[in-house]
Structure 1
Amino acid sequence: MQFTLFTVYTQAKFTIDLVVGLATAIAATMSYLAVKNASESNALARKQMQENKIYTEKNNRPVLEVFIKDYKVNLNNSYLVDWTEEIYEFKPKYASSFYLDLKNIGNVTARNIQLSFYYEGIDNIIEQIKEDPKSTDLLEGKEVTIDHRKIQNGTHEFNQFILSERTVDNKAKRVIVDDASYLEFYGSLQPSSHDNTSIRIHIPNMYVYFTNIFASEIQDDDLILNLMLKVSYTNPYGEEYLQSFRVLNKVKHISFGSRNEIVGKFVMEEITNRKLEKD
């Protein structure tokens, strides 16, 4: 077989083109893999940075928690009684003696703590009062009359309830409560790992009276009235946080007659837990 100079040139050119093509393909592949690896490395680095940021934030912030608390109440033949506990500190005039414990389970001190209670489902109570202003006659010969009215205070409107009952000696007993949201200010709270202290949060006396009156409906989940708690505070660096809780009342046992007892516990359901962004 004879080869001309042109044939040799053509084969050589084909070989060179093939080598160049393979080299280009290999280079492209290597370039793609390098970019892919770099992208994956960057994504991994970003994820690690985000995890580090979250970890740092968690370690540089307070976290407040309201602890579960049991209660056992003797009504002493009256709906309009407080859940008395032996206390020595100041409590707001709208508040019950009964309190919940707020602790800091975070790693740094919570400062500038502000607390406020409000209600979820108050319209259910108002509707029930419209249908029947007297409560179910659970205690012997006892009825509570509940009157409702709207109160306007400047730009704020709230519900006021007048609770009335007759005492054993047939005297009138009356209590006036409302669902206005009261803001309470506290100082600082150390982490419980450093100092096992807590803030006593006195629940509103309105909620205590309504639990006394509507205990059986709370037990059967027929009365949807939830006590809500909002807590705001800062860490030592001035960053502000907000937490809110639904205070769930679990009535476990009711005994009317000679004992007139209500037994239950409060369980917290956290609704909000976030850092507030500055304007």
Structure 2
Amino acid sequence: MNKFKYNETIEHLEIDPLYLEEGLSYAYNNGYKNIRIFSLNINNSAITLDLSAFYNKSFISSLIISDDFKVNKITNTEALYSLDNLESLSCSQKIKLDFSFLDKLKKLYILYNKNLINLNKLVFVEDLFLRSFNEENCSIINKMKNVKKIRLLGSYTSLDGIEGMRRLESLSLIFSPKVVDALKINELNNLVFLYIEKCKNLSDFSFLNGNDSIEEIFISELDSVSFVPEMNKIKSIKFWNLKDGDLNKILKSKTLKSVYFYPDKRNYNYKLDEITEFLSNKSSQ
């Protein structure tokens, strides 16, 4: 049976969930600060994930709880509150946590559920990824003022509240079919990167007319690129499907330096290599 092993790719000591006590003892004795709970053995049965082994393991700075093993229940989650130096937490299992006891976190990737409370207490988090985010809007995280990068995936409908993240530089909305209102994006004055993938109710981006901060955009599907020339700092745009096929407007941008789309489609009035050549000639003038 494999109890633990070091993963050089992610620089974490991987510990099988059934051998946490032994694995954490090994980690402490050998100077490993980054821990990943990860199944190292074939086990098709659901287990009780007992986190009591984490009590007072203040040497841990990063913890990943993977989803490659089945869990029927997680116990002693309060042990994580004793990790005084924990700065990074990633959890792909449904867990109950009060983040007021984890207020030193700088990075949080988590499977969202209603048993997570006090997210707004995480004032030092800079990198946030919420999966299965099913709140109506973003008010539950609107006081996380130091977030610079956020990714949202789930069934939320509005970005209302996200304007509280004044330092936000990168925003990604991924597989979020119910979101219909993204107007608050224009209130994010430091936003440089915008990524929108498979958000079927977001296809009209005319609200970005006059945007003064965004430099790079990826949008999987959009109605038109007519808004691009009206963006004051846009440098790069990528997309998969342009519904009206009209790329003429994009050539009128004064700041745009890079365009990428795939595949070339019959209804597009320019091919990618033609756009690339145009921009290249324009930049050399």
TM-score using structure 2 length = 0.17
Q: Highest CA radius of gyration, 1 or 2?
A: 1
Greater share of strand: 1
Task: Identify the structure with bigger relative contact order (alpha carbons < 8 Å, sequence gap 6+).
Answer: 1
Greater share of helix: 1
